Amino acid sequence: MTAKKPIIQKFPDFKLEDNHDGAACGLDEVGRAPLAGPVTASCVYIPDNQKHHGFIKEIRDSKKLSRKKREALYDQITGYFAYAITDIMQEDVDRLNIHHASLQAMARSYETMCKNFSLQPDLALIDGKFAPAMPCKTMTVIKGDNVSVSIAAASIIAKVHRDRYMEQLHNKYPHYGWNTNVGYPTKQHLEAIKEHGITAHHRRSFSPIKHYSFAS
């Protein structure tokens, strides 16, 4: 289905999920713009008998939440709902390009969730304008993490997962500030690249990375 225009609303809800005659899951990705690290996608399915939890009203676009709140919601989302998270690492981002890598990450997350939880939602609500080829119906939703609780939940666990990964890399490569910028091209990150070069975790196809040599 074509992308639905963003709906002006304060918090995401279950209207899109409930308007579908069948099971609907949500997908979102994080990490399209960073110069280093994976692009990460997540798929979340919230069954009707789990929609009563009080914490659901706190689920929204991950960028609108504090780190502490995202961490708490991560534990609740992964504790109660079916989900999967997929990383497409930087070498495959370079090989596929970021657009196709993001779509592949979402498709894999759906497949992994279905396998791990023995289910198969027949509609995938996808944040943005583009959908991967999938074995179910898809509906793209512009600014979907502001519209659908399922998409917003996927955005939260994808971001927390990827942030944790970048924090682990920071311990090995502290110059780049990945514990705070998570690979985005901040001033600190760009200055560290100029001084120390790039690492195997940088995306070689991204500018300005391709102009630098590997760090020693």
- Judge whether 1 lies within some domain: no
Strand order in the sheet with 123-127: 82-88, 39-45, 24-30, 123-127, 137-141
- The neighbour count for residue 155, using CB atoms within 10 Å, is 32
What is the average pLDDT value for the chain, to the nearest integer? 94
Residue range of the domain that includes 78: 15-171
Assign 199 to helix, strand or coil.
coil
- Judge whether 6 lies within some domain: no
- Judge whether 61 lies within some domain: yes
- Judge whether 3 lies within some domain: no
188 shares its domain with 108: no
157 shares its domain with 88: yes
- Judge whether 8 lies within some domain: no
68 shares its domain with 136: yes
Give this prediction's pTM: 0.93
pLDDT tens sequence across 112-124: 999 999 999 999 9
129 shares its domain with 43: yes
52 shares its domain with 138: yes
| DSSP states along 52-89 | T-GGGGG---GGGS-HHHHHHHHHHHHHHSEEEEEEE-
103 shares its domain with 184: no
For residue 107, CA distances in Å to 29, 78, 132 come to 11, 19, 6
- Cα distance between residue 176 and residue 55, in whole Å: 35
- Judge whether 193 lies within some domain: yes
**CB 53 within 8 Å of CB 6:** no
102 shares its domain with 112: yes
Q: How many CA atoms lie within 13 A of 70 on its CB side?
A: 19
How many domains, in total, are found in the chain?
A: 2
Beta bridge partners, 29, equal 41
CATH code: domain of residue 93? 3.30.420.10
Cα 207 to chain centroid, rounded = 22
Q: Which residue has the tokens 């999967």?
A: 84
109 shares its domain with 178: no
pLDDT tens sequence across 124-142: 999 999 999 999 999 999 9
- Judge whether 82 lies within some domain: yes
pLDDT tens sequence across 97-113: 999 999 999 999 999 99
40 shares its domain with 138: yes
Closest CA to 12 of 26, 32, 29: 26
118 shares its domain with 57: yes
pLDDT tens sequence across 38-61: 999 999 999 999 999 999 999 999
91 shares its domain with 177: no
102 shares its domain with 204: no
Query: Vertex 27, ends 24 and 33: CA angle to 5°?
Result: 165
Query: How sure is the predictor about 7, in pLDDT bands with cuts at 50, 70 and 90?
Result: low
- Judge whether 9 lies within some domain: no
Q: At what angle do helices 149-172 and 67-80 cross, to 10 degrees?
A: 120
